[in-house]
Structure 1
Amino acid sequence: MIEQDAKRVCDLISSRKQVGVRTIVAIAGPPASGKSTLAESVVQSLNAQQNSAVPLATLVPMDGYHLDNRVLEARGLLARKGAPETFDAVGFCNAIKKLQSAQQESFHPRFDRQMDLAIANAIAVHPDTRTVVVEGNYLLMDSDPWRTLADVYAATVFVSPTLEELEKRLQHRWIKHGFDPKTALQRAKTNDLPNAERVIRDSRKADLILNQNYTEFGMRYAF
């Protein structure tokens, strides 16, 4: 199923290629929706279509723009990590806007889940890479600064299984991090699920909406 969805997204990108500027594609959805797995599959599929040493497409996840835990703790937001206010949203939006027309190589942060922090300059975007796939929860939020990217995206995709399925996935994710099932469910319900509901409620309609529920635990989950 993930292969079928990746093909649908690739076909959409092909129909929306921009001339003179980079093609910026947004893949959004609530936490644990499968958007990260889908975005990675799309980039791999696009790059498999050419033999150049320069990648045809590069993935830039929004998660790299998480505020540092020390900043969140000082602001009383550590328990809300993953909520919109726990990201450098303005910095992220400015970086994506620059990507559309940048002529030089640029570098972007990558979030390391095991270390629970962002690593600066870990993702390089080659100046000749013509497609950038952006992935994250809040890309289509109809509020500032997120909506300032509306005209930057050549194509938008929204991935959203049911809330019941998301609850199962979120609980499982916390179990994988060492929490017992009861504590894992509590963590999901107090932070992740409210974030998921907000994403579903407040996001603009995407060009392509994918509601499929991928194999329940056969995927990597992300914020």
Structure 2
Amino acid sequence: MSSPQVLESLAADAIALGESAPRAVLGIAGSPGAGKSTLARALLDVIAQRRGPGWVAHVPMDGFHLADVQLRRLGWSDRKGAPETFDAAGYASLLERLRQDIDGDVYAPGFERDLEQPLAAAVVVPPSSRLVITEGNYLLLDRPPWRRARRAMDQVWFVVADERTRIERLLARHVEFGKRPDAAHAWVTDVDERNAELVSSTAGAADRVVVNGARGWAFSA
């Protein structure tokens, strides 16, 4: 099956999920740089074409990063992106609310990449949204309160990619958003890869594994 056909199939399954309940939540997990956001954006585009604007919404986990002021207070500035550097309980609460509060706008935090900071109420989920796509590293992590967040998702798909390509993407991203190449390499080696090992260990709990390969999207063998 070609990459466009795989994407169309994934979009059809996501739509079916949204049609199975008043509002469903689909999670997309994977290691840093694997392509979670890329898959989410591709699905959003295809689903919006099929069901119209507003039928699907996007709420990334990145909005629940602790702000730098809190990381400094806690002494965690050197491990930004680790599980404890997110407001996981707040994320779980929002996912629960999204499932229950379907009659009005629900606001969610976003993440400003240029500032590398969360941004309050940057995302809105309107009542018309039957499906919410959320993505992040730790959606399948078997720790409280991440388990609570997982219970609020109908399905979680896991994205995998070639390790060399994934790391190259990470390095390029860090440089794009202001790190020097040597600092980007150190951060990927010391922080991102430690997190990636933890995330990779959760793949077995996913409802589906999607490969982000050199020829595009594919189903895991």
- Please tell me the TM-score bracket, short chain as reference: 0.7 to 0.9
Which amino acid in the other structure matches residue 131 of structure 1? L
Question: Which whole-Å CA distance do the structure 2 matches of 1:82 and 1:47 have between them?
Answer: 30
Shift of 1:20: 4.4
Question: Which whole-Å CA distance do the structure 2 matches of 1:148 and 1:82 have between them?
Answer: 19
Which amino acid in the other structure matches residue 139 of structure 1? L
SS at match of 2:156: strand
Return the structure number with greater helix share.
2
Shift of 1:215: 7.5
Change in Cα spacing, 1:176 to 1:2, as seen in structure 2 (3 Å) is farther
8 Å contact 2:35–2:212 — kept in the other structure? no
Shift of 1:19: 4.1
TM-superposition CA deviations, 1:94-119 (whole Å, max 9, x none): 10011012122110011001012111
- Give the fraction of aligned pairs with identical amino acids, expressed as a percent: 31
Normalising by the residue count of structure 2, what TM-score does the alignment of the two structures yield?
0.87
Shift of 1:203: 4.6
CA RMSD of aligned residues (A): 2.2
8 Å contact 1:69–1:117 — kept in the other structure? yes
**Equivalent residue for 1:8?**
9
8 Å contact 1:47–1:56 — kept in the other structure? yes
TM-superposition CA deviations, 1:111-135 (whole Å, max 9, x none): 0010121111111111121110011
8 Å contact 1:35–1:135 — kept in the other structure? yes
**Equivalent residue for 1:128?**
128
Matching of residues 42-81 of structure 1 within 5 Å: 42-51=43-52, 55-81=54-80
TM-superposition CA deviations, 1:57-96 (whole Å, max 9, x none): 0000000011110000111111111111111100001100
Question: Which whole-Å CA distance do the structure 2 matches of 1:48 and 1:84 have between them?
Answer: 35
Matching of residues 133-212 of structure 1 within 5 Å: 133-212=133-212
**Equivalent residue for 1:100?**
99
Question: Which whole-Å CA distance do the structure 2 matches of 1:44 and 1:62 have between them?
Answer: 19
Which amino acid in the other structure matches residue 73 of structure 2? A
Change in Cα spacing, 1:146 to 1:105, as seen in structure 2 (3 Å) is same
8 Å contact 1:24–1:131 — kept in the other structure? yes
Change in Cα spacing, 1:34 to 1:25, as seen in structure 2 (3 Å) is same
Question: Which whole-Å CA distance do the structure 2 matches of 1:169 and 1:69 have between them?
Answer: 24
Change in Cα spacing, 1:2 to 1:113, as seen in structure 2 (3 Å) is farther
Bigger mean CA offset, 78-87 vs 196-205: 196-205
**Equivalent residue for 1:82?**
81
Segments of 5+ residues of structure 1 without an aligned counterpart are: 217-223
Give aligned pairs, total: 214
8 Å contact 1:140–1:204 — kept in the other structure? no
8 Å contact 1:137–1:199 — kept in the other structure? yes
Shift of 1:214: 4.8
Shift of 1:160: 1.5
Shift of 1:34: 0.7
**Equivalent residue for 1:219?**
none
Question: Which whole-Å CA distance do the structure 2 matches of 1:151 and 1:74 have between them?
Answer: 31
Shift of 1:3: 4.2
8 Å contact 1:142–1:203 — kept in the other structure? no
Normalising by the residue count of structure 1, what TM-score does the alignment of the two structures yield?
0.87
Question: Which whole-Å CA distance do the structure 2 matches of 1:50 and 1:106 have between them?
Answer: 20
Which amino acid in the other structure matches residue 109 of structure 1? P
